[in-house]
A and B are shown apart, each in its own frame.
Chain A
């Protein structure tokens, strides 16, 4: 069922790898498996699956992630 996708190239998701400490929490909380951990760093592997729910932003201990959905 994971082929259900929404409009591409709209998410406001930004990951700043410099800030990432590799805790893996974003990988854990994201309901659309947007991140993966490789070499102790979070990596965006499926940008267009992001629904801007903010779960990753809320739980990243170093504020390495941002989403700024317009109206919400």
Chain B
């Protein structure tokens, strides 16, 4: 008889069993009432009121508490959730419980890798560690990635010391060394960690994909591993969240635009609000598109360093391109209204491009401050002029 691995699935211990059922083929229909329930090797870890996480495959005994052993391959559900989180649908509380985990069969000489409890980070890290025997110490960063948590002060010296002590790490490994991702250094002081916990901090590579090489090279990282990048795909992946953030304010602006568009010789007209308004809405849409999509995507190729200027440039290019098309419609026959739409697009585009500074690993707070002081007045003036011209052009 075929006994597929599906049968030994830790039924009841994880919600992943459902997904595995989907993977059954007709030759092993085992969901029949006559079947004996599958053996559950994790039964001894079941506790009332607790549910075992789907990424835990077993527990290993240590001189301290048993440590959950986690899988290195991501389930369909993990991947699906990742996509949702990336789109900004489910960003809050996407966390794993902080504490010690392990991969493979680590012993007292195995390395301890420190990471954040944002599930996306956790999933990414474990998926890069297949075949290794390592301990993973997850800090409570409130579901934020290492880089952002380090600057917010949750991926920090005190939290690292706290988790080292909570896991009784000195009983689990004999080397007294933890590997902290380099981008965590903003929140961690190696010297203080040593003083408060006895553990030495070794800074690992920036990217989880370099961990294997780093460990193979006796914990040495080369220049490339130590340098932050902001590639096309790294930028693209941020765009959905960026768009999600502007959605609400954009709708408010849209409502205001519709209101303003209705003002005219007849005091207020709904039909004019809709017809003129939809054209102004298109200008708004172009501004959002160039500021929050085009500028991030083409960032290094757009001239000038200030993001606000980059936003103006992309805004101008797209506004000019569409402006010609708009001249054919009856509502933007005048130069005044065309200028108004033009300025609206540019103000929005410039502001959103500037907003993107917060998402990049390239911008210094002092630089952003300088840029804001210079360009917020420009954006406001442009917006105010746009509104003035728009109302004026209706009469």
Classify chain B's interface size.
35 or more
From B186, B231, B300, name the one whose CB has the most chain A CB atoms within 10 angstroms: B186
Tell me whether chain A's interface is mostly helix, strand or loop, or mixed. Answer: loop
Contact yes or no, A53 B186, CB < 8 A: yes
Contact yes or no, A31 B226, CB < 8 A: yes
The reply to whether the CB of A16 lies closer than 8 angstroms to some CB of chain B is no
Partner of B186, one of A11, A25, A28, A58: A58
Question: What is the number of residues of chain A that contact chain B, defined by CB distance less than 8 Å?
Answer: 32
Distance to closest chain A CB from B200 (angstroms): 12
The reply to whether the CB of B38 lies closer than 8 angstroms to some CB of chain A is no
Contact yes or no, A4 B186, CB < 8 A: no
The reply to whether the CB of B73 lies closer than 8 angstroms to some CB of chain A is no
Contact yes or no, A51 B305, CB < 8 A: no
What CA separation (Å) do A31 and B184 show in the bound complex? 10
What CA separation (Å) do A58 and B227 show in the bound complex? 18
Contact yes or no, A69 B365, CB < 8 A: yes
Distance to closest chain A CB from B132 (angstroms): 22
15 additional contacts, CB 8 Å, given A4-B362, A53-B186? A5-B305, A5-B362, A6-B362, A7-B364, A7-B367, A11-B364, A11-B367, A25-B190, A28-B221, A28-B226, A29-B203, A33-B227, A70-B366, A70-B369, A71-B365
Which residues of B pack against A, CB within 8 Å?
150-151, 182-183, 185-191, 203, 206, 221, 223, 226-231, 299-300, 305-306, 361-367, 369-371
Could you write out 27 A-B pairs with CB less than 8 Å apart?
A1-B229, A4-B300, A6-B364, A7-B364, A7-B371, A10-B366, A10-B367, A11-B367, A25-B190, A28-B203, A30-B226, A31-B183, A31-B206, A31-B227, A33-B227, A50-B364, A51-B364, A52-B364, A54-B186, A55-B182, A55-B186, A58-B186, A58-B187, A58-B188, A70-B366, A71-B365, A71-B369
